[in-house]
Structure 1
Amino acid sequence: MIRIGEGWEELAAALAAGERPERVYVVGSTDSGKTTLCRYLADAASTHTRTAYVDCDTGQSRLGPPTTEGMVICPDPGDPPARPYLRFVGSTSPGGHFVQTLTAAKRLVEKAAELSAGAVVIDSPGLIAGGVGAEFQFQMIDLLRPTQIVALQRGRELERLLANFARYPGVTIRRFPVSPAAVTRTALGRRRYREECFRTYFADARPQAISLRGLGLQGRVPDLRNPCGVRGRLVSFNGPENFSLALGIARELHPQERVIEVLVPSFDDAAVASVRFGSLSLDLDADPGSVESFRS
């Protein structure tokens, strides 16, 4: 059950009554209830128009495994869930990956438009603190050009950001208080959630050798002449438009043969056009709380 917060029904009605395509950007800190609000808005809007939900939170992602941003067209009642489009950022936080996070969000919003979505609901990352957070959110909003900015605040922590768009043409700013029902999770709790998501995603994975010949290589690409340190690295196998087909955990890299051995769920490896190397490594056999590690 979704507990409806103050102002939510009014916003949902505005989306339903709108005559123009709407793009809603929901911004707030971690554990402010952004995802719950986005789910409510997407469900409400989808009864009136073709609606896309864009999940930009790579740490607590809902559409794909952690390290990915996703977009899905909300299904009509009775239809099976649609398969999401995923972009691999390579990290569970925007820090150090601002360009990848921004580009992924832009491409997913563009894909929603290509699929004729009349309403797009964007669930933003929870990075808002300090000058870095404000600048990051400014760039996201300026790039994605929403028609509605919805700010979930406990006080006035977003006013510095919102001031930049007070006179922005065609934008409505709405301020909502954080719902008392919003659940605050610890850093350890969020980490455990990610670990559970990774274990679920790779539950049916199997070892597979994939040739890198003729493929584009992106991200934190290792030195193919000295493949030490590749083991455990999270990689994404991408299609021609750079949407992720599957994530894999690197096991070995064979430079001379240009072959990478990975643990990966079943997918069509013939459709791969490029491989993106992330900065996150996984050890699914590690103790809880120790599954993730980062590489520079």
Structure 2
Amino acid sequence: MDTIDIRKEWEQAAKRIKQDAKVCIVLGKTDSGKSTLCKYLIHTWAASGTRVGYVDSDLGQSTLGPPTTVSLKIFNTPPHQNNSANPLYLHFVGNTAPEGFLLQTLHAIKTMVDKSQQQGSHITLVDTTGFIDGPVARILKLHKIEMLRPQRILALQAEDEMEHLLRGYEKMGWQVMRLVCSKHVVTRSQAERQRYRSEKYKAYFKSAKIVDCPIHKVAFPSCIIGTGQRIQPAELPKEACIHGMNHLYMEKCGTELLIMPDHMDVSIPVYKLKGYFGASSVVLIERQQLKDLLVGLNDENNTTLGLGTVTDLDPFAGKITLFTPVSNISKIATIRLGALKIERGEREYGRTQIIQYL
């Protein structure tokens, strides 16, 4: 704690929150010092015998778990540098920012806060992303607050950059405490933030191995892979003759039609197929694009066992090949598809929308 610039109002806030708060949310823009403030609060409360649950929901610059996750750690004593990571639980969201994953983000945060309270935390401290500008950020932050119903909202501001949010919260009856950012806040470049994520990925995937997982034993919540009736080439109408049909996998489940070509260089008569099979929607997935995709591996209770990257998905052989540190593959019940490509479990090299709905 000697390296932290502790302001007087931080000390006062810590005392007030400890008196009456069960849930406290920390808001602030990127590089405002939210993690530093959380570190101070955890240290202060734990040192006084308070059991603190720390929910790290900064998807891109996470302190506890790997990027793209919301994680939880319980502190009964002040954290040391060698035990501040290694979360008790984590929940996969799928992206390093909430955009495009708002429901997943809210669900993950609520799940971790609930687990914190189930673990007997006296105070649950929720660190958030620096996503504060624009209508999407406004909606996300408001629903997060209404969902968690915190007794205190801690707002870190350099000037008045969050007043467009905070004044509205106060009108709705929420208790907002405004704090000034530390003088020693360091602004990190995009390259530095990317390097930080790469280090986190590298540490997480250090013990990862290549494993095969049977498709028929798992569910893919974002699509119908393995849940429908496979369509054989002979079942296709003659007018839907497709070059390279032997490498085109199709399934139908209800009114959904799944089409999985190896590459998108195949001309697929989507609308003819929809009409012929009576499908209201087509789910199109290019198998090649799945390679290196970051995925979440959850058990039957929807608890994230860990992360993995896709080496290959072969629906004809009925298996998905993963690179993951998760050792007990038999516990995997669902595989959640993310939006990031991770090379060799280290470097992000792109974002992608794997599923196209037609």
After TM superposition, the score normalised by the length of structure 2 is 0.75
Equivalence map 1:187-266=2 (5 Å):
187-219=190-222, 225-226=260-261, 227-266=287-326
Q: What letter matches 2:324 in structure 1? A: V
2: distance between equivalents of 1:200 and 1:156?
37
Q: CA 1:50/1:261 → structure 2, altered by over 3 Å: closer, same or farther?
A: same
Q: What letter matches 1:59 in structure 2? A: G
Which secondary structure does the structure 2 equivalent of 1:267 belong to? coil
Q: Choose which of 92, 96, 99 in structure 1 pairs with 2:103.
A: 99
Q: CA 1:133/1:83 → structure 2, altered by over 3 Å: closer, same or farther?
A: closer
Q: CA 1:65/1:83 → structure 2, altered by over 3 Å: closer, same or farther?
A: closer
Contact kept in structure 2, 1:6 and 1:177, CA below 8 Å: no
Q: CA 1:276/1:159 → structure 2, altered by over 3 Å: closer, same or farther?
A: same
CA-CA distance at 1:11 after TM superposition: 1.4
Contact kept in structure 1, 2:65 and 2:71, CA below 8 Å: yes
Which secondary structure does the structure 2 equivalent of 1:70 belong to? strand
Q: What letter matches 2:95 in structure 1? A: S
2: distance between equivalents of 1:59 and 1:112?
22
Q: Which residue of 2 aligns with 1:14?
A: 16
Contact kept in structure 1, 2:210 and 2:321, CA below 8 Å: yes
Task: Among all aligned residue pairs of Structure 1 and Structure 2, give the percentage whose two residues are the same amino acid.
Answer: 32
1: distance between equivalents of 2:205 and 2:325?
6
Note the alpha carbon deviations across 1:135-193, whole angstroms, 9 max, x for none.
32222212211110011112212112112221445x42111111111110011111111
Q: Which residue of 2 aligns with 1:35?
A: 35
Q: CA 1:105/1:78 → structure 2, altered by over 3 Å: closer, same or farther?
A: closer
CA RMSD of aligned residues (A): 2.3
CA-CA distance at 1:97 after TM superposition: 1.0
Q: Which residue of 1 aligns with 2:112?
A: 108
CA-CA distance at 1:15 after TM superposition: 3.2
Which secondary structure does the structure 1 equivalent of 2:166 belong to? helix
Contact kept in structure 1, 2:49 and 2:77, CA below 8 Å: no
Q: What letter matches 2:92 in structure 1? A: F
Structure with bigger helix share is 2
Which secondary structure does the structure 2 equivalent of 1:185 belong to? coil
After TM superposition, the score normalised by the length of structure 1 is 0.90
CA-CA distance at 1:122 after TM superposition: 0.6
Which secondary structure does the structure 1 equivalent of 2:11 belong to? helix
1: distance between equivalents of 2:72 and 2:335?
20
Q: What letter matches 2:295 in structure 1? A: V
Which secondary structure does the structure 2 equivalent of 1:280 belong to? strand
